[in-house]
Amino acid sequence: MSAETAGTIPAPTDIGALANRINFHTRDAHNKINAYMSVRLAFALKHGFIYRQGILAYYHIFDAIEQEIDRLMMDPQGAKEVQVQGILRQFWLEEFRRSGQIFKDLEVLYSPEYRSKDAIRDFVSTNRLPPVLQDFVDYIHTTIQDEPCNVLAYCHVMYLALFAGGRVMRSNLYRHTGLFPKFEFLSPKELVHRGTNFFTFSDEGTDAENRLRWKYKQNFELATRNELSEEQKHKIIQVSSEIFLRNMAITGEIGELNKQELMSKFSFKLLTYFVEEWKYSALISKKSKDLIIFTLVALQFLLGYYILRRFL
């Protein structure tokens, strides 16, 4: 353990920490969405037209969260919102804001259709959201406006996931396995350089991002430990669990919207067959299911590696 993380707050064994309680109570949902993302969705998202739909969806999600954060920070109404304003002021920094960063990615990913910033902004603002995504956006506003402390569930679940996930998205390993999104007008290198602002919290590198992450976690814990009642913490944990489920529903909706085009690709048909058989078969043990997941992902990695060595 490094000197920087030796005195980490909260400690992993601190069962009273809100973040640890959220992690404990959402573990099953977290594992479920990880398995989904690791197999079926990973194959779908390597297609650029689907990947950019996902980035667009998360623009709307983070924009909704940040609209509520800004409202609470600048114009709180009533004692509950004033309470949450005080908590947010203890840990929220502008470096965490994602909507502006995602918009930069949309400018790159949708550039063939929308050549100017005004054109892409008009597209984003008038884009009609599919029903599951619209329901999630509405849910964000409703849960926070009904119970302002629920904003802390989004601050924990949605932002901390990006610190880890972003590193994977930008890594050479991910770029070279064949699972990276394909764009005719962008090379993988260009995409990493210009189109992964969503996953980037600092231009100063991984060490700076790590420091920001630890600062976020520490200040979140110090701000929430004594400022919230047990009833409020329980509500935050409940909303956190729902956030995981709604994230999976969003990715599932994107897959369904593109199902016809995806199913024209043999590799996705084969993957879908294995995953559906695994999902519904009571005869397959957990160990065997884990082996199927590992085998499918390993095969895709090996195929990408072979193509890279054979043709580059």
Residue 306 scores a pLDDT above 70: no
The structural domains of the chain, with segments of one domain joined by +, span 45-254, 263-312
CB half-sphere exposure, 35, CA atoms < 13 A: 16
SS3 content of the chain, % helix, strand, coil (to 5): 75, 0, 20
The rounded mean pLDDT for the chain is: 80
Report d(CA 134, CA 136) in Å as an integer. Answer: 5
The stretch 213-233 carries a mean pLDDT of: 93
- The per-residue pLDDT for 278 is 45
Most confident of 76-80, 207-211, 215-219, 253-257: 76-80
How far is it, in rounded angstroms, from Cα 294 to Cα 290?
6
Provide CB contacts within 8 A for 210, sequence distance 6+: 4
- Per-residue pLDDT band for 282 (boundaries 50, 70, 90) equals very low
Binding-site positions: 30
Mean pLDDT of 169-185: 69
Going by C-alpha positions, the residue among 7, 37, 20 that lies closest to residue 156 is 20
Positions at the binding site for heme b:
30
Cα 4 from Cα 8, distance rounded (Å): 8
Per-residue pLDDT tens for 75-129?
A: 999 999 999 999 999 999 999 999 999 999 999 999 999 989 999 999 999 999 9
pLDDT of 183 reads 87
- Residue 167 clears pLDDT 60, i.e. is over it: yes
Residue 188: predicted pLDDT: 80
Asked which of 41-45, 198-202, 292-296 is least confident by mean pLDDT, the reply is 292-296
Average pLDDT value for residue range 268-287: 47
Q: Provide the pLDDT for residue 274.
A: 44
**pLDDT band (50, 70, 90) for residue 294:** low
pLDDT of residue 270: 45
The answer to whether the CB of 178 falls within 8 A of the CB of 300 is yes
Question: Which of the residue ranges 23-32, 95-104, 158-167 has the most confident prediction, judged by mean pLDDT?
Answer: 95-104
Return the pLDDT at 9. 78
**pLDDT tens digit sequence for 245-271:** 998 889 889 888 887 666 665 454 444
Average pLDDT over residues 279-307: 49
Residue 166 or 64, more confident: 64
Backbone torsions φ then ψ of 299, nearest 5 degrees: -60, -40
pLDDT of residue 248: 86
Per-residue model confidence (pLDDT) at position 237:
96
Instruction: Decide if pLDDT at 2 tops 50.
Output: no
Rounded-to-integer distance, Cα 238 and Cα 234, Å: 6
Give the pLDDT confidence of 121-160 residue by residue, as tens digits. Answer: 999 999 999 999 999 999 999 999 999 999 999 999 999 8
Q: What is the second-level CATH architecture of the domain 45-254?
A: Up-down Bundle (1.20)
